[in-house]
Structure 1
């Protein structure tokens, strides 16, 4: 592994480090980066944290909302099939690296931390040989960007054992303190009032990632009558680009559709059971707050979402349903009996205790500050 470029003289006073995080694109890349940023600021309040992103990524909304500066660089999407884009790729990579290097120089980066995705590859290449690099991989199967970055990183951190990256330390996934310190029972009444949910009804939380998921939307909304008749309230995040019209049933608990959940802590506190995708970040959060889950892995890709869910399923904290099997009838058959069974919910919640790494944010932050010389 390469040595840090910037070295402090023996006995020299510590200077405030500048940490650059690269994890744009999806919430699964952005949220761990922001959780790390928060942990860095707790450990070193004088530190500066700058996020890299692209002009169309979700980071344009999430990063400024958390109070961190965002620097935009050109993304480097890698085509999956031979196309004309493949021939243009070297020029696009070079331009993105050039502009990313200019950002690192301008902000005085002391360390670059990559979480994978389109913005991480140019960040790794721009920092190579100039600024220390720390790589964090959330999935069992690393993406191309992190495979490249890990080859010349100072430290490599992974969420789960067996991730095939050289010299990796297992630290878990950095999570927001609003999640790891969440007291669901204490916030339950406030959370349900916030969303307009029935204060006493068993409640199902549904979401399909930051953009929503059509199959989840169709299956759960299609079972609205059965859910209402079973006395179940629903909080359903359908995605900002989707619409969801749900029939109301007088005298029954509310079915509340929302485009996006700005307050995931309150959403988790309001729920008794969650039905959702099983991205690495989602599984880590759901397990950390002790919510029984019905995981519906994304049917595309290399099967990593099913792998993400497996530890929780094996521990008895979650159920697994194939996307093709998720129908309104399956919701009525499988989900309704779970949400209305308080004893079973209690056992599944208890099974979630101990899953994951609740201190991953500060463990990774110490690793990053050490790489920066701080």
Structure 2
């Protein structure tokens, strides 16, 4: 049986678009087995099987950034990963590798190149990571899709962010949809809704600022759904135990409901978050993660310039930001409406999963 290997993982920013592409491929190619490759350390170990995709794993082998014993062992471990993927390609009859970035992608791309298997790539971030920069040199023109206009990556074309149809089809102008989402999340009608999230890994700075400002949110008549990230909400849960409108959860299954319920979102500016929020038309305050290669600030730049969001540096995000910026914005329906319209005016692509599937099917034809 022929198969397609999806490569990627680590965070939901990689996993969500990978699964969206995988679902589209299954619909188009029902006779082809579509499965995923990740590591045992990433969120893919739970998210991928829960989405009904088989997951195979290889060793996580990050490139050492300093002179150490790890640097000396790296070549042999990395070569071992390439060999492991070559075996998977041979044993499973893999006819294409579709990568989205992460530790598994460099060995997957190199193994595919050695096996003369087509490589298809999706780059989520405005500033490409190392794995996809490598992969883009190994594939043909037109087989690399990027999320944001202006992303510089070899052989690429703009496709947008692959995402679930529950988000691309979300209509926040339908009050019944919003009411149903709020009810499902334990929220009430008649009070503004603020959604706070740091993504799958959480955001300590955001959590700390809202810990200090939780009582002010309650006093302002705002109901907060704060998604802290797994195991990072204990202090907030204790501090807000007597605040009936401050809801603390580790995780929300189905962010489409959070987007539907929200009047305003405070979040990191990971590529998936920015893309989904823009498509859904949710006004946002982004707090870019200040590490990596600066991709999170770049991810939010188009939204900021259009007036669909505000961006606040991580170091500057404090209790005062919540009380002096976030809460006043939430109390200004006209400003929120302008931000929603600005997001819609960006005309963000909503068919990225379909386009990536088309690229893959075309690659299979040669």
Q: TM-score range by the shorter chain?
A: over 0.9
Q: Which residue of 2 aligns with 1:183?
A: 171
In structure 2, list runs of 5 or more residues that go unmatched.
none
How many Å separate the matches in 2 of 1:193 and 1:167?
Answer: 45
Q: Which runs of 4+ in 1 moved over 6 A?
A: none
1:351 to 336, 342, 357: 342
TM-score normalized by structure 2? Answer: 0.93
Where 2:132 maps in the other structure, the secondary structure is helix
Query: Offset at 1:248?
Result: 4.7
1:317 to 280, 284, 308: 308
How many Å separate the matches in 2 of 1:25 and 1:291?
Answer: 26
Give the alignment's Cα RMSD to 1 decimal: 1.6
Q: Deviations over 1:99-137 (max 9, x none)?
A: 111112222111001111101111111111421111221
Q: Which residue of 1 aligns with 2:327?
A: 336
- Cα distance change of structure 1 residues 354 and 73 upon mapping to structure 2, 3 Å threshold: farther
Q: How does 1:1-374 map to 2 (within 5 A)?
A: 18-130=3-115, 131-154=117-140, 155-184=143-172, 185-242=175-232, 243=234, 244-245=236-237, 246-248=239-241, 254-355=245-346, 356-373=348-365
Query: Offset at 1:156?
Result: 1.8
Q: Which residue of 2 aligns with 1:6?
A: none
In structure 1, list runs of 5 or more residues that go unmatched.
1-15
How many Å separate the matches in 1 of 2:177 and 2:32?
Answer: 32
Q: Deviations over 1:189-212 (max 9, x none)?
A: 222222211222100000101011
Q: Is the 8 A contact 1:157 1:169 kept in 2?
A: yes
Q: Is the 8 A contact 2:148 2:299 kept in 1?
A: no
Where 1:204 maps in the other structure, the secondary structure is strand
Query: Offset at 1:249?
Result: 5.3
How many Å separate the matches in 1 of 2:42 and 2:241?
Answer: 35
Where 2:94 maps in the other structure, the secondary structure is coil
How many Å separate the matches in 2 of 1:247 and 1:38?
Answer: 39
How many Å separate the matches in 2 of 1:78 and 1:215?
Answer: 28
Query: Offset at 1:92?
Result: 0.7
Where 1:110 maps in the other structure, the secondary structure is strand
Where 2:138 maps in the other structure, the secondary structure is coil
How many Å separate the matches in 2 of 1:112 and 1:52?
Answer: 10
Q: Which residue of 2 aligns with 1:8?
A: none
How many Å separate the matches in 2 of 1:38 and 1:364?
Answer: 11
